Structure 1
Amino acid sequence: MAGIDLDIGFWCRAGRCPVNEDFCGAQLPPPGQEARGSVVAVADGVSAGGLGREAAQTTVTSVLRDYHGTPETWDTTVALDRVIAAQNAWLAGMNRRRAPAMGLTTLTALVLRGQSYTLAHVGDSRCYLLREGELTQLSHDHVVPHPDLRHRLLRAVGLEDHVVVDYQQGDLQVGDTFLLLTDGVHGSLPDRRLRECLAGREARAAAETVVEAALAAGSDDNVTALVVRVRGLLEATLQDAQRQAQALPVPPKLAVGAAIDGLVVTALVADNGVNRLYQVRDPGTQRLYALKTLHPSRAHDADERATLAHEGWLAARMASSRVAEHLVALHPWLPGGGERTAFYLLYDWHAGETLQQQIDRGERPGPTKAVALAMQALRVLGRLHRQGVVHRDIKPANLHQGDDGLLRVLDLGVALSGREPAATRALHAGTPSFINPEQWGFQLGPGEAEPAAPDAGSDLFALGVTLYQLLTGRLPYGEVLPYQMGRYHRDPVAPSRHNPEVPIWLDHVVLKAVARDRALRFETAEEFLLALERGASRPLNAPPASPLLRRDPAMRWKLLAGVSLVFNLILVVWLLFLPR
């Protein structure tokens, strides 16, 4: 994966000072870590102590070197905060042994990752953003608010045991230019002059022009400028999605005919109390879309926002994979351009219906068609599982057959990707009637088991239940209501007992897929798919019936209780009625 396309240049001079205590640098991501982004930093050592140059150099070096060594799961602000805090603790420890403190520095660090930037700032070096001709100062100077004392820092790396860092995050756009400066430059040049120096120049030439302009304007300090031009972006990262999810408002309830970001609502498709799904139309093209957002009552639930953001990130990530044609495409941008004013996901709209809608109408596919649908679903699941994704809610309502004949898997809302929020992972997600026994803590044989985490086998069991329902109109273990636990105290009835059209070989495949004993089920989607493809030519053996004592571990105690009851009844009869 290629990284963000950046043009980075810097220029650093001692100016009229004998020693240059400024330091700057840039670090591109190592191979394989392009998604972590690039980091640049500028520092201005405090000369009064005598070791400002060393403090600036070690601080910038530690940020550039250590940022990519932090865990990938950390948010950018967390990673920067840990790295800066460690450097501050080291400098502060050195300074405690000196009077006065000698190793202090400012720091302005910028990480450009995915489609967003993160700024970390301490002191009076600065960061500017030039966007569409407008120059904006992003950082705030930590100096004494008095004209005669503006050279005195209120915050610096190494000044105190705990450093307070300012953080700011925002969206990136192609064409953005970031300018990082030390006070020797911004103290001599107004914003208008900075903007002129940046215009029409490559990054290094622009940095040199800014520094030389500051010297020409009479700067008597070290002068450093670092310029970053954004020429291309990566696809949005999960961090981008999470940040937007928390920043944008949730739309209110939308009535038919209401408009949102240029899209007109044509129907409310579903409302489960957590999410609302609308059909919307683009008036310009008349194209239909599916708009998914949170129910207004969940607007302040940060966990639900994070879960929906993860769904959008995962759908976008899958768009470049082989599984994309069997998923519903996500639109990260509005059809007519512009910025979103609310938090929602925008998907393609496909004509057709879900398998659940067909079942509700009493239309049950024949065995041949049911097998064909299951095979399509297994190809999707196999590709998802190979990428480390577990769907967790496979059922007829989430399998959509389009007018084009293609089966699509819907709703990645509770899917596991390895990057899902902790709250999503902790959910006992899925539809109860389709959840495998292990997730309920059920096991065959004596003893109790803890509920198992969902995995690829959970999706395969759910698809087996789906295939059983398509063939018979029934559920193998009966319906489980949301407030109930699954009941697995009997083996399922063979589908052919409910539907004589089901061949025996298919009986064996379905019963293997929904077996109560995990060891008897299919291990992979490919194994399940192969069994269906071979069909009657190479049929599977019938899964063995579970012994009574394994079906119900409490049966031995029930039998002992029954024997004890009979014995006691005989004893009572003998004592009361038989002659002595």
Structure 2
Amino acid sequence: MRFELDTGLSSQQGKRPRNEDFAGVQAPAAHEVERGWVAALADGVNGAEGGNGDGLMAAQTSVMSLLRDFHGVPADWDTSVALDRLLGHQNAWLASHNRRPGPDGQPREALTTLTAVALRGRRYALAHIGDSRAWLLRDGQCLLLTQDHRMERRDFAGLTRALGLDEALRLDHSAGELKVGDRLLLTSDGVHDALRSRQIADLLRATPGAQAAADALTTAALAAGSADNATALVLDIRDLAGPGFDDLAALGRTLPSPGQLGVGAVLDGYQVTALVADNGVHRLLQARELASGRLVALKMLRPGRADDPEERAMLAHEIWLGLRLAEAPRHRRRGGDSGFVRVHPPAYGATHFYAVFDWHGGQTLEQLLAKGLLDVAQAQALGGAVARSLSLLHAAGVIHRDIKPANLHLGDDGQWRVLDLGVALSPRAPASMRELHAGTPSYINPEQWQDPPLPADAGSDLFALGVTLYQALTGRLPYGEIEPYQLARYRREPASVSRLQPSAPMPLDRLVMKAVARDARTRFETADELLLALERLAARDQPAAARAARALPDGVSGWQVALAISALLNLLLIAWLVFLPR
């Protein structure tokens, strides 16, 4: 599902000598869809009679700079933070401009009102200063979303806040949920000073099409005697994208967690069929979707941790990451599969906060190793699948931080999948996650234990994968069971894989030992490099066996071929000696 918006903009000069209103809408580029849309309307302040154009300049530059820079801010900025910082820079520039006298020696008056709205995921965020306005029409009800910053008296009417008026910027911020069918409206005072709120609502309800509605509003305002420029910007929400990070974080803050659900309990159309795991923080349940009959996995906070805001934020982050990976470019996946368990977006009207995942039958690597070691082919398949998944993860700027046998799952469909993004780091990860030294000690690279410790990075995931492959082939950990204070264990290289498992070929031995080397400079630098090494290893093994099988007929062994070649060479040498001229 993609975000679909119908926009309409109408701006009429009216009785003014020039039109000093300015408005616009900016859609995201294809690779910035998650950042959403942004729209803004500004009304330049016309000070002296006739004005000197400073108000128009202030309105134009304020809207254009916001629309130009909005999609360039860091991805981890909250929408309201992005609006506040971008408009703060613009306000500082206008205030500095106004401190310098104009060419005629008169004070500059580059001032403007501005109302901006950003639409991201399933929410909107407003930033407002001055007396332009924002409205929301939903289900036939029209709601004014802003409050004018204007002083009204018999002998005076003027703005109390505007861009460029003061060094310190004081914006009004608000946010809310979006629904399909919503109609957002931004107006300059030339529209809402001439039309009553009821008239504006009637026109919004009665006029289909965003552009037709915008035209109807400005035309009606001028017909009603408006003495100012009249501008209306209409945004119709046709369809919504999947929930963004802000949407999920809001759900995590507001919805209650499910209680201690037992088998047979029903939650939002899912009936619990089994308790799968309980780690003290989360409970994982198997459930059946009543509408479709399919099995799913439900992940939720335990009742004792249900009110922990940090745990709620981490679960919201995990859901967001899963949805983001599902949208990764298909050329980076294997057979269309991302290598991660697919997460479902929260349904509209969900009553509790929890995550819903696809259910896959099968076993984790930890469960498989309890029955026996992997053979060489199985280990190579495991390494290639996980390396491909890590390549996808790292390309998205995400570090898993907990690769280990318990988090690698072999499904009944033969696919290896990486589980549990609960402690993964991304640009949107909560601060509490960044401070958390996550992972299982025996799989954490030595650099994270040194003083001062280095943060986890892509190399940390590759080291953990190397440890996992070592364990899958030998049944042992390369450096043994590690505790955070046991840095001394890393003073010696581990025993080679082939020493502990003689059936392991030397090329695979060298690959695994490189992945778990003590010195980070000698390890693989990227998941793609490790994946390429595994693919070359597999390709080299298969053709060699095939060529050997084709070269030797049935019943002919290698030593027989070698004996025949040796005899032929001896005969040639004797013939040369016999017939050599004397």
TM superposition shift of 1:488: 1.6
Q: Secondary structure at the match of 1:488?
A: helix
Q: 1:345 matched to which residue of 2?
A: 355
Q: Deviations over 1:376-406 (max 9, x none)?
A: 3233334434554432211111111111121
Work out the CA distance in 2 between the residues paired with 1:396 and 1:426.
25
SS at match of 1:106: strand
> Which AA in structure 2 matches 1:369?
Q
Q: Which letter maps to 2:413?
A: D
- Residue 355 of structure 1 corresponds to 365
Amino acid of the structure 2 residue aligned with 1:463: L
Does the CA-based 8 Å contact 1:122-1:156 persist in structure 2? yes
Counterpart CA distance in 1 for 2:122 and 2:414 is 36
- Of 454, 474, 477 in structure 1, the residue corresponding to residue 476 of structure 2 is 474
Matched, 1:375 2:375: no
Task: Report the 3-state secondary structure (helix = DSSP H, G, I; strand = E; otherwise coil) of the residue aligned with 1:533.
Answer: helix
Moved more, 208-217 or 27-36: 27-36
Letter in 2 for 1:38: W
Q: Could you tell which deviates more after superposition, 230-239 or 122-131? A: 230-239
SS in structure 1 of the partner of residue 112 of structure 2: coil
CA distance in 1, matches of 2:408, 2:365: 6
- One-letter code aligned to 1:288: L
3-state DSSP of counterpart to 1:526 = helix
Offset at residue 409 of structure 1 (A):
1.0
- Structure 1, residues 279-337: CA drift from partner, whole Å, max 9, x if none? 33322223222222444555565554444333322222221334334211111143xxx
Q: In structure 2, do the counterparts of structure 1 residues 370 and 22 end up closer, same or farther at CA, with 3 Å as the change threshold? A: closer
Q: Is residue 332 of structure 1 aligned with residue 345 of structure 2?
A: yes
> Are the counterparts in 2 of residues 20 and 53 from structure 1 also a CA contact under 8 Å?
no
Q: Does 1:139 align with 2:138?
A: no
Change (3 A) 1:413 1:60: farther
> Is the 8 Å Cα contact of residues 62 and 83 (structure 1) preserved in structure 2?
no
- Please tell me whether residue 277 in structure 1 is matched to residue 284 in structure 2: yes
The CA deviation string for residues 412-445 of structure 1, in whole angstroms up to 9 with x for no partner, is: 223344554454344322211111222222xxxx
Q: Hey, what does 2:271 align to over in structure 1?
A: 264
Partner of 2:63 in structure 1?
63
Q: Does 1:205 align with 2:212?
A: yes
Aligned to 1:561: none
The answer for the alignment partner of 2:534 in structure 1 is 529
Alignment of 1:238-253 (within 5 A): 238-253=245-260
Cα gap change, 1:329 to 1:23, in 2 (>3 Å): same
- Partner residue in 2 for 1:78: 81
* Partner residue in 2 for 1:440: 449
Range moving further from structure 2, 307-316 or 238-247 = 238-247
Residue deviations 1:85-108 (CA, integer Å, cap 9, x gap): 233334445666799995543221
Q: Is the 8 A contact 1:120 1:168 kept in 2?
A: yes
**Aligned AA (1:407):** W
TM value normalised by structure 1: 0.78
Is contact 1:488-1:516 (8 Å) kept? Answer: yes
Q: Mapping of 1:81-480 within 5 angstroms?
A: 81-92=84-95, 102-144=109-151, 152-198=158-204, 199-295=206-302, 298=305, 302-321=309-328, 322-323=332-333, 324-334=337-347, 338-360=348-370, 362-441=371-450, 450-480=452-482
Counterpart of 2:38 in structure 1: which amino acid? V
Q: Distance in 1 between matches of 2:497 and 2:455?
A: 29
Indicate conservation of the 8 Å contact 1:522/1:528, yes or no.
Answer: no
How far 1:272 sits from its partner (Å)? 3.3
Give the direction of change, closer, same or farther, for the CA distance of 1:6–1:220 in structure 2 (3 Å limit).
same
SS across alignment from 2:344 = coil
Percent sequence identity over matched residues? 50
How many Å separate the matches in 2 of 1:201 and 1:307?
Answer: 42
> How many positions carry a matched residue from both structures?
526
Q: Distance in 1 between matches of 2:504 and 2:510?
A: 10
- Mapped partners of 2:360, 2:379: distance in 1: 21
Pairwise CA distance, 1:494: 3.8
Give the unaligned 5+ runs of structure 2: 545-582
Contact 1:22 1:44 in 2 (8 A): yes
Q: Report the Cα distance in structure 1 between the residues aligned to 2:248 and 2:7, rounded to whole angstroms.
A: 26
- TM-score when scaled to structure 2? 0.78
SS in 2 for 1:474: coil
Aligned CA RMSD, in angstroms, stands at 3.6
Check whether the contact 1:49–1:103 (CA below 8 A) recurs between aligned residues.
no
In structure 2, the residue corresponding to 1:492 is in which secondary structure? coil
Give SS of 2:413's match.
coil
The 10-residue stretch of structure 1 (96-105 or 187-196) with the greater mean CA deviation from structure 2: 96-105
What is the distance in 2 between the residues matched to 1:158 and 1:499? 73
Q: 1:90 to 1:476 in 2, by over 3 A?
A: closer
Stretches of structure 1 that go unaligned for 5 or more consecutive residues are 442-448, 540-580
